[in-house]
Amino acid sequence: MASANVKEFTDDNFETEVLKADVPTLVDFWAVWCGPCRQVAPLVDALADQYKGKLNVGKMDVDNHQIVPQQYGIRSIPTLLVFKGGKVVGQVVGSVPRAKLEAEIQKHLT
């Protein structure tokens, strides 16, 4: 079951929810048919719960929302981007161990 702390980002709400967010934001670009995306999903949920209030976390389905993924050059999924101050400050591609993703997030929380 998905965490209540994981938002759904769309082409329409991306600017407000991600680019103008007061805290760093982790965006998981994914698709329903993507096996590695399903592998990383529980990790994204856990991190959303762990960093609640410090990190905005959400997912963007690249099949249903294509404008934003194209703008950021998303070519393979899962791609997880960290945004801070309206800019991409971190990137992790693929299903990675928790430690690797958490290390990337930690760099941008201060």
The answer to whether residue 34 is catalytic is yes
Catalytic pick among 34, 55, 60, 80 = 34
CATH code of 64's domain: 3.40.30.10
Q: Does residue 110 belong to any structural domain of this protein? A: no
Q: Give mean pLDDT, residues 105-110.
A: 89
**C-alpha–C-alpha distance, residues 30 and 52, integer Å:** 21
> Residue 77 carries which DSSP code?
S
Which 3-state string (H, E, C) describes 9-54?
CCCCCHHHHHHCCCCCEEEEEECCCCHHHHHHHHHHHHHHHHCCCC
**C-alpha–C-alpha distance, residues 78 and 12, integer Å:** 21
Q: Does residue 109 belong to any structural domain of this protein? A: no
Number of domains in the chain: 1
Catalytic pick among 18, 26, 27, 37 = 37
Q: What is the pLDDT of residue 56?
A: 96
The answer to whether residue 37 is catalytic is yes
**Range(s) of the domain holding residue 78:** 6-93
Task: Please write the tens of the pLDDT for every residue from 24-82.
Answer: 999 999 999 999 999 999 999 999 999 999 999 999 999 999 999 999 999 999 999 99
On the question of pLDDT at 1 being above 50, the answer is no
